[in-house]
A and B are shown apart, each in its own frame.
Chain A
Amino acid sequence: MGEAIVITSGKGGVGKTTTSANLGTALALQGKKVCLIDTDIGLRNLDVILGLENRIIYDLVDVVEERCKVHQALVKDKRFEDRLFLLPAAQTTDKSAVNPEQMKKLILELKQDYDYVLIDCPAGIEQGFKNAISGADRAIVVTTPEISAVRDADRIIGLLEAEEELEPPKLIINRIRSGMMESGETLDVNEITTHLSIDLLGIVMDDQNVISASNKGEPVVMDPTNPAAIGYRNIARRILGESVPLMTMEKSKAGFFGKIKNMFSK
């Protein structure tokens, strides 16, 4: 039986969907059987990032309302033979169309056939969040190095810790700009992990190719040389139980000068 992992954040737009797509792809690249579920009903995105939008016939709401069987609704990513599938969100209704009990049942069913079920959670702490976490065994909290994102992550971690069926959540810090971090313009990795005091699963660099790759429908993680892709691949290996050291942040020129400037301004 597989494992269900929810990817959540509290604050919107910090990279939950990007992380779901890239981790799902990375795990499939490692030979695992993965099913991604988009629970952002009404605002679906995951299908676009994976380039599967045109192939959707049924969606999550069709499945829970038993208009079709699960396997009919799953969209296969042809790049990975039989290892990567997406259960898309409905676009025409809202989050109240599904309840936590239905999600639990659905995820339990999917765990029979897949090694990993990754659940892309909508922003916020309302119904959509409750649906997304209800069937999960583990949770990953995504934040960026911004104070507002970290604050919302703290709130979400509190809610996740209150769920007895969930293991302690783990953290991904996304969109790191080494220059800004080194010059103290954003919180650094250490400050964030101390403040939130949960385990760090990994960090992902801010990289413009993440956006262009998503637009092409081909997650950036497919490019093994891209710095953000390396971050996602490392995280996938840690999920598989390997111990991979935290990658050292690339020292960009801006970062170096930023640091010197900072020294003088003190």
Chain B
Amino acid sequence: MTKSQLITIKGTKDGLVLRLDDHCSFTELLSELKEKVQSSVLEGVSEVQLHLGHRYCDEKDMNKIQSVIHTSPHLRVSKVHSDVISLKECERKLIEKQSETYIGIVRSGQVVKADGDLVVIGDVNQSAQVIAGGSIYVLGRVKGIAHAGAQGNKDAVIAASWLEATHLKIADKIEIMTDELTILSEQPEMECAYLQKNGQIAIDRLQELRYLRPDLATFKGGI
């Protein structure tokens, strides 16, 4: 009996695309992957994009797949595509997309938290904190502490009419607004803070947000 192909390999201009069957058992898949990887004749290093289809792989499974592929010195996994996510992850994504609104002044010592995005209509005074799983938008002055992407979302931003915070945090990165950084914003009007690729928090004009984080927009299509 000839075995059906569990793994198909295709070369594209962005590297190799590995499609893994999503119906067979995981052990079957792994053993065929091993075979394919070992029998392949390659030179140099190729980037590999994995397509998992409808197979749900947790972190352990993913590690197994990757370590098999990385037994070949010529292959490097660059991207993983999957058509499924866990319920938990889905819920987290949904929650982070939700927006909560606080109207009033967040005063010294007070903490306002949201699981998703947080809109504050009012000032965030010195020694006050606003914390959000998603992004933070303040129609007012941020003079205290703002923490966006508190569950680790690195794409979260902090935008405010006046961004004069003493501390900015995005995901697990914290920036104390020392003079050097605040020089970047001599006029702290209409600004946003975001996490750069290099892991540094940067501040830019609010107008740049649509280019920096195009995915924040949920409004699709033109007029």
Residue ranges of A at the interface with B (Cβ–Cβ < 8 Å): 151-152, 154-155, 157-159, 161, 195, 197
Contact = CB atoms under 8 A, between A and B. Distances in A.
B105 interface: yes
A152 B125 contact: no
A197 B105 contact: yes
Interface centre among B107, B110, B123, B126 (most CB of A within 10 A): B107
Contacts of B127: 151, 154-155
Nearest to B110: A158
A159 B109 CA distance: 9
A197 B140 CA distance: 12
B126 to A, nearest CB: 6
Contacts of A154: 107-108, 125-128
Contacts, number: 29
Interface centre among B105, B108, B110, B125 (most CB of A within 10 A): B108
Contacts of A152: 108
Contacts of A158: 105-110, 128
Please name the 3 residue pairs, one residue from A and one from B, whose CB atoms are nearest each other, closest first: A158-B107, A155-B108, A154-B108
Nearest to A10: B108
Looking at chain B's contact residues, the main secondary structure is loop
A133 to B, nearest CB: 16
Interface centre among A158, A161, A195 (most CB of B within 10 A): A158
Interface residues of B, number: 12
B125 A195 contact: yes
Contacts of A197: 105, 123
Interface of B: 104-110, 123, 125-128
B161 to A, nearest CB: 14
A151 B128 CA distance: 10
Given A195-B125, A197-B123, A151 B108 contact: yes
A36 B104 CA distance: 33
A166 to B, nearest CB: 15
Nearest to B107: A158
Nearest to A157: B107
A155 B109 contact: yes
Given A158-B109, A195-B123, 10 more contacts: A151-B108, A151-B127, A154-B126, A154-B128, A155-B109, A157-B107, A158-B106, A158-B107, A158-B128, A159-B109
A175 to B, nearest CB: 20
Contacts of A161: 104, 107
Interface centre among A152, A154, A155, A195 (most CB of B within 10 A): A154
Nearest to A147: B126
A194 to B, nearest CB: 9
A55 to B, nearest CB: 40
Nearest to A159: B109
A134 to B, nearest CB: 20
Contacts of B110: 158
Nearest to B106: A158
Contacts of B105: 158, 197
Nearest to B126: A151
A67 to B, nearest CB: 37
29 contacts: A151-B108, A151-B126, A151-B127, A152-B108, A154-B107, A154-B108, A154-B125, A154-B126, A154-B127, A154-B128, A155-B107, A155-B108, A155-B109, A155-B127, A157-B107, A158-B105, A158-B106, A158-B107, A158-B108, A158-B109, A158-B110, A158-B128, A159-B109, A161-B104, A161-B107, A195-B123, A195-B125, A197-B105, A197-B123
Contacts of B109: 155, 158-159
